[in-house]
Amino acid sequence: MGRAHEVRKVAMAKTAAVKSKLYAKYGKEIYMAAKSGIPDPDNNLALRSIIAKAKKEQVSADVIKRAIDKAKGGQGEDYQSVRYEGFGSGNSLLIVECLTDNVSRTYTDVRSAFTKCGGKLGVTGSVLFQFTHQAVVTVLNVKEDEILDILITNDIDADIETTDNDVTIFGDAALLFSIKTALQEANPLLETTTEEIVWIPQVETVLDDEAYGKFERLYNILDELDDVQEIFHNVKVPSTDDEDE
């Protein structure tokens, strides 16, 4: 079904997390963006972008305000971005993106999750080379020709994939801002659902029931860790039709 379908399947898995985890995730990102720049979304592009994304996922205004106020007050933790690469059941590969104020704790928690599920952490670069770092933007109810015209006019080198009435744009990770800006300037009424930078597997793997069960358990344990922000993998998620057969 293509890359757009798989990105959406992963996104659906993310939204299964409890609301408190979602709030904590965006609270950290908003705090870091506000602290590293001007704590005003009107004058801080990164902060404005994260807030817009948080609102799309129905993060409350109170959570957003508290994170910005904490940055303004110079209080709170100093978070560090860390990435772990690991091997799960079967041929599954995982990239775990974290934001933490205690790297030792996070490393121990992530390693323990892999060990519990029969997997293991890899060294830096052991998994990453099998993924492509890409910007992904999905535009709703739009014709493919309109998106192509916008990309060509703005000299943006990107691929597109059409699903129903939606068009998903795939470009180099560094192009996310350029893509969003080009769409907004060309047609302010265009509505997007996905605006993010992701790791997309170059080759997907299909797991048998036993291996998939172990992979799913590992994914869920990792997803419940407070320091984990994003999880990317190469596993083809069974569709509802597959499960019914």
Tokens describing residue 138? 């999905």
Task: Say which amino acid occupies 156.
Answer: I
CB contact burial 222-234 (16+ within 10 A = b; e otherwise): bbebbbbbbbbbb
The average pLDDT across 17-38 equals 83
Confidence band, pLDDT 50/70/90 cuts, at residue 24:
confident
Q: Which pLDDT value is given to residue 218? A: 96
**Taking the complete model, does pTM exceed 0.75, yes or no?**
yes
Confidence band, pLDDT 50/70/90 cuts, at residue 108:
very high
Distance CA 63, CA 136 (A): 26
> Beta-carbon neighbour count of residue 147 at 10 Å?
24
Lookup result for tokens 């596993």: 235
Distance CA 116, CA 217 (A): 9
Q: Which pLDDT value is given to residue 245? A: 46
Domains delineated in the chain: 3-72 (1.10.10.200), 80-128+204-236 (3.30.70.980), 130-201 (3.30.70.980)
Confidence band, pLDDT 50/70/90 cuts, at residue 38:
confident
Across the beta sheet with 120-121, what order do the strands follow?
A: 120-121, 80-87, 93-100, 228-233
Is it the case that residue 141 has pLDDT exceeding 80? yes
Of 14, 25, 13, nearest to 226 (Cα)? 25
Confidence band, pLDDT 50/70/90 cuts, at residue 204:
very high
The average pLDDT across 59-78 equals 84
Is it the case that residue 11 has pLDDT exceeding 80? no
The average pLDDT across 214-243 equals 86
The average pLDDT across 113-139 equals 95
Q: Which pLDDT value is given to residue 225? A: 92
Distance CA 45, CA 6 (A): 28
